[in-house]
Structure 1
Amino acid sequence: MIDVIPVASPHLDEDDITAAVRVLRSGALVQGREVAAFEDEFSDLVDGRHCIAVNSGTTALWLPLLGLGIGPGDEVIIPAFTFAATAAAVRLTGATPVFADIDPVSFCLDPTAAAEAVTSRTAAIIPVHLFGHPADLGALLTLARRHGIALIEDAAQAHAATLHARPVGTFGTAAAFSFYPTKNMQSVEGGMITTADPGLARTLRLLRNVGMETRYCHEIVGTNGRLNDVFAAIGRTQLRKLPARTAARRAHAAHLDAALAGVAGISPPTTGIGAGHVYHQYTIRVDDGRDAFAQALLEDRVGCSVHYPVPLHRSPAYRTAAHLPHTDTAAAQVLSLPVHPGLARADLDRIVTTVLRHARREQLAA
Structure 2
Amino acid sequence: MIPIIKPTLDEAEAEAARRVILSGWVTQGPEVAAFESEFATFTGASHATAVSNCTTALHLALLVAGVKPGDEVVTVSHSYIATANAVAYCGATPIFVDIDPATYNIDPALIEQALSARTSAILVVHQMGLPCDMAAVAGIAKAKGLPLIEDAACASGSELLWDDQWEKIGKVHGDVACFSFHPRKILSTGDGGMLTTKHAAWDAKFKMLRQHGMSVPDTVRHGSAQVIFETHPVLGYNYRMTDIQAAVGREQLKRLPGIVARRRVLASRYVELLGDAQWLGLVREPSYARTNWQSFCVRLPDAADQRAVMQAMLDAGVATRRGIMCAHREDFYASQPLCMPLPESEAAQDHTIVLPLYPQMTDEDQQKVASNLIEATRL
**Is contact 2:66–2:120 with CA below 8 Å preserved after alignment?**
no
Aligned to 2:256: 242
Amino acid at match of 1:289: D
Counterpart mapping for 1:194-273 below 5 A:
194-214=196-216, 216-273=230-287
Distance 1:285 1:336 in 2: 9
Counterpart of 2:309 (choices 262, 286, 293) is: 293
Three-state SS of the structure 2 residue aligned to 1:317 is helix
Query: Matched residue of 2:321: which SS?
Result: coil
Q: Is 1:114 the counterpart of 2:111 in the alignment?
A: yes
Aligned to 2:141: 144
Q: CA deviation at 1:190?
A: 0.5
2-structure distance, mates of 1:258, 1:107? 21
Q: Distance in 1 between matches of 2:375 and 2:64?
A: 52
In the TM superposition, residue 292 of structure 1 has moved relative to its aligned partner by 1.2
2:95 aligned partner: 98
How many matched pairs?
357
SS in 2 for 1:52: strand
1:55 aligns with 2:52: yes
Does the 8 Å contact 1:187/1:234 carry over to 2? yes
* 1:313–1:321 Cα contact (<8 Å) kept: no
Question: 1:166 aligned to 2:154?
Answer: no
Cα-to-partner distance string for 1:282-330 (whole Å, 9 max, x where unaligned): 000001222211111111011111132x411111011234210111111
1:122-172 per-position Cα deviation (integer Å, ceiling 9, x unaligned):
111111000110011001001101111010000000001111112212211
Counterpart of 1:179, as a letter, is F
In the alignment, the residues of structure 2 paired with residue 185 and residue 122 of structure 1 have an alpha-carbon distance, to the nearest angstrom, of 33
Secondary structure of the 2:125 match is coil
CA distance in structure 1 between the aligned counterparts of 2:348 and 2:371, rounded to whole angstroms: 24
Q: Which runs of 4+ in 1 moved over 3 A?
A: none
Measure the CA separation in 2 of the matches of 1:265 and 1:68: 44
Return the TM-score normalized by structure 2: 0.92
Q: 1:42 aligns with which of 39, 43, 48?
A: 39
CA contact (8 A) 2:54 2:179 kept: yes
Query: How far apart in 1 are the matches of 2:79 and 2:373?
Result: 25
Which of the residues 336, 341, 346 maps onto 2:359? Answer: 341
**What is the root-mean-square deviation in Å for CA atoms of aligned residues?**
1.2
Write the distance in 2 (CA, Å) between the matches of 1:109 and 1:48. Answer: 23
Identity %: 36
2 CA distance for matches of 1:299 and 1:350?
12
In 1: Cα distance, 2:199 partner to 2:29 partner: 23
Equivalents in 2 of 1:85, 1:312: separation in Å? 9
Which residue identity does 1:317 align to in structure 2? Answer: F
Report the Cα distance in structure 2 between the residues aligned to 1:174 and 1:229, rounded to whole angstroms: 23
Please tell me the residue identity of whatever aligns with 1:44. Answer: T
Q: Distance in 2 between matches of 1:106 and 1:255?
A: 19
User: Residue 325 of structure 1 aligns with which residue?
Assistant: 343
Deviations 1:35-69 (A, max 9, x none): 00000000112213200000011011000111122
Choose which of 58, 63, 66 in structure 2 pairs with 1:69. 66
Residue number in structure 2 paired with 1:84? 81
Alignment partner of 1:313 out of 298, 308, 328: 328
Q: CA deviation at 1:268?
A: 1.4
Compute the displacement of 1:264 (Å).
3.2
Q: Which runs of 5+ in 1 are unaligned?
A: none
Give the SS at the match of 1:126: strand
Contact 1:261 1:267 in 2 (8 A): no
Partners of 2:260 and 2:8 in 1: how far apart? 14
* TM-score (structure 1 length as normaliser): 0.95
* Aligned residues of 2:79 and 2:326 also touching (Cα < 8 A): yes
Aligned counterparts of 2:24 and 2:119: Cα–Cα separation in 1: 46
Equivalent in the alignment of 1:184: 186
Mapping for residues 18-33 of structure 1, pairs under 5 Å: 18-33=15-30
2:257, 2:151 → 1: CA distance? 20
Contact kept? 1:180, 1:188, Cα under 8 Å? yes
2:25–2:243 contact (8 Å) kept in structure 1: yes
